[in-house]
Amino acid sequence: MSQFIRRSFQSSIFSLLKGSLPRSDRQRKRLTIVIAAVILSIPLLSIAKVYNAEEYIHPVTPAKEHAKLSFVIAKQLRYQHYRHMVLDDDLSSTVFDAYLKSLDPNRTFFLAQDIKSFEKFRFLIDNDFRRGELKNAFSTFNLYQKRHAERLVYTLNLLENNYHKLDFNKNEELVIEREELPWPANEEQQNQLTRQQLKNVIISFKLAGKDDKEIQELLIKRYKNQLNRIKQTNNEDAFRIYINALAESYDPHTQYFSPRVSENFDIQMSLSLEGIGAMLQSEDGYTKVKRLVPAGPAEKAGQLKAGDRIVGVAQGAAGEMVDVIGWRLDDVVQLIRGKKGTTVRLELIPQKSKDEHKTKTIQIVRNTVKLEEQAAKKEIIEVTENGIKQKIGIIDIPAFYIDFKAAQAGDPDYKSTTRDVKKLINELKQENIDGLIVDLRNNGGGSLQEVNTLVGLFIKSGPTVQIKAADGRIAQLNDESDEIIYQGPLAVLVNRLSASASEIFAGAIQDYNRGIIIGNQTFGKGTVQALQQLEQGQIKLTHAKFYRVSGDSTQNLGVIPDIIFPALYDKDDIGESSLPEALPWDKVKNSEFQHYPAFSSLFPALKTQHLKRSKTDPDFLYIQETVVRIDKKKDQKVLSLNFESRQKEYNESRQEQLEIENKRRIAKGEKPFKNIKELDDEDDILGLNKDHDDEEDEDDKKDSDSRTFLLESANILMDYIQLKQNSLVHK
């Protein structure tokens, strides 16, 4: 029919051009039909929009103050940073690689020929910083903006005009992590990669139950928003990315804050004022949750985790979800912050998810974080073994806090970690506890003064931590009091999110042989930062390093527990060792201190009894099996782009999850779920979101099972008490 219309239209137009009209009524009627058909087709053809990258690109140039600022920052790093590095060709090469990685971490936007053209800058960066020269840096940034816009335009044109041509039956695979792969050799290779990445996104949405129309509309909106963000990019954004490539080549905690960000220097902590209570950072174009503020709205809600990436923000229960991929961190923060009592919805990529487009949506009611809500809390757990019942006291310390204002004002009742814990210990002693566990899981640190005095509650007197400055001088903090508040059996429970002051406390208790350390290898943040004002903005600079009294650094390695539990957080993703250019672990001379009698001879028996219990405890087995299967997925390097294959993998994974869950329920005497729907419905009752994949469900369950670790820690401490008593009897 279309060929007939085309031939007839051509014939009629030819006749019109010759000045003749169809003679017969039949011919005139046919011409009318043909012209009407063509006219009706014109609006349909115009719907297919074609995007042009040039509309969204505007090259940026450095401001006058940027030249001076780059010189000043380079000089400060050279002479004031803990890591003494000369700004030479070697460092220039490191900054060059870091800059390209910050722009294009997944090697998607730049072409191989672009990288080749940049190579002439590799060993010039040190000279550029000395002269305050930014031309090379900005030309690289501008080409990145152009390439980024081209990729978004290509994707949008695929979505608008060729969505129906995408073949989901073809056996293709997409490499998930491209950090070590070559950049695309040419535009043809790049187009193929972009098409595969788009197919992966669409498959993920299909698996989530969305139809083609919904997917198409959602993605067109997402990528148009990203294009519009490119138009809003300014020279301060370009300068910040470049200067931080230099700063973070010294260590991951050294950072430049632009004037806009400096208005609220600590974006993360400002969220704890009236927001969700989360510390955020920008990483590879995403807004990533660094950690949760203790007792904050997010921690209380229990659905946001460290390592999650925020891809969308919406206001209220029904507000439109705004895609924030590629946004500046401060812009994302402005969306998340809001008045106390209001609701914000967040679309997340969970920390464990290998597929970046399997998301879940949560909602959090904004609130303020009160100091008293961060305070230490106590409870008692009763454990029984071999007919012996013992009381184990628990003190949960979410942060090392002190009310400086109240203390300076002379308030005799000012709150601090040490004062609160001292009071709680005395209350627990009144209840005749047999042992004490200090729970430091998820404690990101805080006041150095408080960790020093807290250690003093458990030892007679002596050093608690060593601090080495950039000039090599070592200072030492000491507990000067001989008073010991608690002398009984002690354990410290830690995990991967126990950092800084938590590591100082756990390390001191371990070095003094004062107690057992239980849990997971800690975060490994053993560095100290200070904030320095600049003419424009601020710089946070690492100037010192923590060392245990044994001489071991807490940096990078953290504290290794005596009894290790299954890791709920992947140390390749969370922790100091996962960060590029992290300062290394090292040692200094040990402090002089009087440690307690060693009890390491009890460790083999403690581990044996722990393993015996963990092999039969349903909750512990569930955690172990869940961690094992997620760790297997971590090794997955490619994703199939065949929808049937992906659907099969997805269904098999969900079924495996159901089997693990039912195994636990049966062992505990509970009724097993008949199918995945029953499991999802149970999650809804618990407040979990069922519109996400099995990995996310497991993350939520694993955190709810952290009680299992606390109970097992109590059992381990009871074992220690009994073993120690037996060893004394035999002596």
Q: Which residues are catalytic?
A: 500, 511, 525
Give, in order, the Cα–Cα distances in Å from 563 to each of 195, 315, 559, 709: 48, 44, 12, 11
Nearest Cα to 290, choosing from 314, 272, 274, 273? 272
* 192 backbone dihedrals φ, ψ, rounded to 5°: -65, -45
Separation between Cα atoms, residue 622 and residue 690, nearest integer Å: 20
Burial class, 170, CB count within 10 angstroms (exposed 0-12 / middle 13-18 / buried 19+): exposed
Separation between Cα atoms, residue 304 and residue 346, nearest integer Å: 9
State the residue for tokens 């006058």: 64
Nearest Cα to 249, choosing from 43, 94, 428? 94
Separation between Cα atoms, residue 590 and residue 610, nearest integer Å: 32
Q: Which two tokens stand for residue 359?
A: 């998301």
User: What does the radius of gyration of the chain's CA atoms come to, in whole angstroms?
Assistant: 31
Burial class, 564, CB count within 10 angstroms (exposed 0-12 / middle 13-18 / buried 19+): middle
Q: How far apart are the first and last CA of the chain?
A: 103
Separation between Cα atoms, residue 12 and residue 4, nearest integer Å: 12
- Sequence-distant (≥ 6) Cβ neighbours of residue 373 within 8 angstroms: 295
Separation between Cα atoms, residue 638 and residue 191, nearest integer Å: 18
Three-class SS of 209-252: CCCHHHHHHHHHHHHHHHHHHHHHCCHHHHHHHHHHHHHCCCCC
Separation between Cα atoms, residue 203 and residue 189, nearest integer Å: 21
Helix, strand and coil percent figures for the chain, each rounded to 5: 45, 15, 35
Across the strands, what pairs with 286?
A: 283
Interior angle at CA 512, CA 508 and CA 517, nearest 5: 65
Nearest Cα to 165, choosing from 199, 191, 203? 199
Give the β-pairing of 388-396 and 435-439. Answer: parallel
Q: Containing H/E element for 393?
A: strand 388-396
The single-letter DSSP state of residue 552 is: B
